[in-house]
Amino acid sequence: MSADCGDDEMKRGASRQGRGLVFQSQGTAGGLILDSDHLIARIENLSVVELRLRREGSSILSDSFPLPLFWRQYADHQDPERNAGSSGRLTVLERRVNSITLAACGTNASASISSRFVMRIELEPSGDGYRCHLTAELNVVSEKGWLVSPNPVQGEVEFCNFWPAGSYDPAKPQLKRFSCCVVDCKQTVLQIPHHHLETRDKAMIPLRQGDRFLWLLEDENPSIRLLSKTKVDAGVCAYMWDAHLGYKVCDQGQPVVLPLGSHFQAEIEVSTIDRETGRVLLERSVEQPIDAPDPVFHAGRLEFDRLYRSYEAVERIGLWPWQPQRPTAASAEAVSFGVAPSAESADRLVLVISHLQMNESAWIAPSLGPAFGGVPLRSGRRHCFSARVRLESVDQTAFLALRMHCCNEGSVFNLADYNVYQSSPVSGTHRDWQLISVCTPPLPSAADRLHLMLVFRGSGTALFSMPQLQINLDAHPISA
């Protein structure tokens, strides 16, 4: 297949005269695919922002989370050096009555890699819907190579990031379509329940030729079938339910520079199935168990440190994880995070942080607030967080923090735009449990995101238990 993107074929099929699928160009890297007056696909900046695979159906993609028609890395994929979305060109290769084929070409910012996607939309034989066929090629074309960062949960060289419309949207957090994902491996159908936990069933999912990855169970359910022969290592994002398909190149967990001449190829087919077909497939599926020991979770209704298995299945969609925050320069051996049974209740956990030397690290619950389907955090109200801590020596200190992002106050991705409220630090003077707490002042603006932080500074071990959060308290509490 030629690396040329077919500039001389730009005019082929561009006219809307006649019947069948047509392409209407909108700039060098975008355009519309139509069937008569029906919009089938809309492409902007080499990304598919709308895709309708039923003639009268709705889009299975959204402009908030489009499908890139270029290769990229998951790590820092917004960096123009890490993706091939620069210098984009979208051209028509072939037009027939029942199909249309486009080529999408791009590079990274320094043009050290070249990407070419061939996208074919074709009418189903039944005439009721469409299929999208994608063939992707990546070449390293510079002597300096292409630096790739490791990712422990999926292939780093990514050719597909598919985020179905409505599966999760921070702008509408209460709306969560699809109840699960399934991996159809012919003889076995594995079910991945929809929750926000970084569990093993979402990481390093092997896909081989003919395997399908699907979202279930709605009236129309997206399906991705792998057609190429090389095994793919897929991952499902714990927060957003988008799937990442790519090739593993960082086997030792270290960055890799792909040399000049490196070549990757992949081929997939995107289609949809109806609810009844999905139900039959779901009945065959097997849910993979989460192995003990349990990770640490918190629930959307602000309960904390329960074991995963203590929640009913219908409750698990509201669970979000606590996460460790390590010092940048510390090794995994120098700083460790864990859980231990609580002395007060067999169904509760104590959060543990251990340092081999002087360090500062934290347990963080980063996913509270209305952006994650939680209770609205109202303006003019206070929010309080408390927990107990046990330290070993006077050289150790611990404190709590509330980190909050208020609506329309900078980027949610930039922690410098968050407001941070800290408790007074306590030390291990008594070597017993101590209660610490922090309260915000009445906030002038409503917050959309809230982070809870249990911070330990020193060497040795710190234990945290019974974290509790109170939100939307009166601005001026009445004295006892």
Assess whether 278 and 324 both reside in one domain.
no
Confidence at residue 161, expressed as pLDDT on a 0 to 100 scale:
96
Question: What is the overall mean pLDDT for the chain?
Answer: 87
Domain boundary among 252, 284, 316: 284
Q: Using CA atoms, how far apart are residues 30 and 2, in angstroms rounded to an integer?
A: 21
Confidence at residue 17, expressed as pLDDT on a 0 to 100 scale:
41
**CATH code assigned at 265:** 2.70.98
Which of 121-125, 138-142, 267-271 has the lowest average pLDDT? 121-125
**Tens digit of each residue's pLDDT (9 = 90 or more) over 284-317:** 999 877 665 566 788 766 677 777 777 887 777 7
Tell me, yes or no, whether 278 lies in a domain.
yes
Assess whether 189 and 255 both reside in one domain.
yes
Assess whether 317 and 238 both reside in one domain.
no
**Tens digit of each residue's pLDDT (9 = 90 or more) over 168-191:** 766 666 667 888 899 999 889 999
Tell me, yes or no, whether 289 lies in a domain.
no
Q: What percent of the chain has pLDDT over 70?
A: 90
Assess whether 262 and 304 both reside in one domain.
no
CB 292: neighbour CB atoms within 10 A? 8
Q: How many domains does the chain have?
A: 2
Assess whether 219 and 267 both reside in one domain.
yes
Assess whether 270 and 329 both reside in one domain.
no
Tell me, yes or no, whether 478 lies in a domain.
no
Mean pLDDT of 111-124: 96
**CATH code assigned at 393:** 2.60.120.200
Tell me, yes or no, whether 93 lies in a domain.
yes
Assess whether 258 and 336 both reside in one domain.
no
CB 334: neighbour CB atoms within 10 A? 16
**Tens digit of each residue's pLDDT (9 = 90 or more) over 231-247:** 999 999 876 678 999 99
Q: What is the pTM of this model?
A: 0.81
Tell me, yes or no, whether 479 lies in a domain.
no
Domain boundary among 284, 311, 326: 284
Per-residue pLDDT band for 2 (boundaries 50, 70, 90) equals very low
Tell me, yes or no, whether 464 lies in a domain.
yes
Confidence at residue 13, expressed as pLDDT on a 0 to 100 scale:
37
355 contacts 456 by C-beta, under 8 angstroms: yes
Look at residue 10 and tell me whether its pLDDT is greater than 50: no
Confidence at residue 300, expressed as pLDDT on a 0 to 100 scale:
66
Partners of 265 in beta bridges? 137
Tell me, yes or no, whether 154 lies in a domain.
yes
Confidence at residue 155, expressed as pLDDT on a 0 to 100 scale:
94
Partners of 44 in beta bridges? 47
Assess whether 347 and 393 both reside in one domain.
yes
Confidence at residue 16, expressed as pLDDT on a 0 to 100 scale:
35
Closest C-alpha among 462, 453, 469 to residue 350: 462
Confidence at residue 9, expressed as pLDDT on a 0 to 100 scale:
37
The DSSP code for 371 is G
The DSSP code for 328 is T
**Tens digit of each residue's pLDDT (9 = 90 or more) over 22-71:** 999 999 999 999 998 889 999 999 999 999 999 778 999 988 889 999 99
Measured CA distances, 208 to 119, 138, 183, 247, 306 (Å)? 21, 19, 11, 12, 37
Assess whether 226 and 142 both reside in one domain.
yes
Domain boundary among 284, 308, 338: 284
Look at residue 257 and tell me whether its pLDDT is greater than 90: yes
Tell me, yes or no, whether 230 lies in a domain.
yes
Which of 2-11, 270-279, 329-338, 372-381 has the lowest average pLDDT? 2-11
Residues of the domain holding 350: 297-473
Assess whether 306 and 243 both reside in one domain.
no
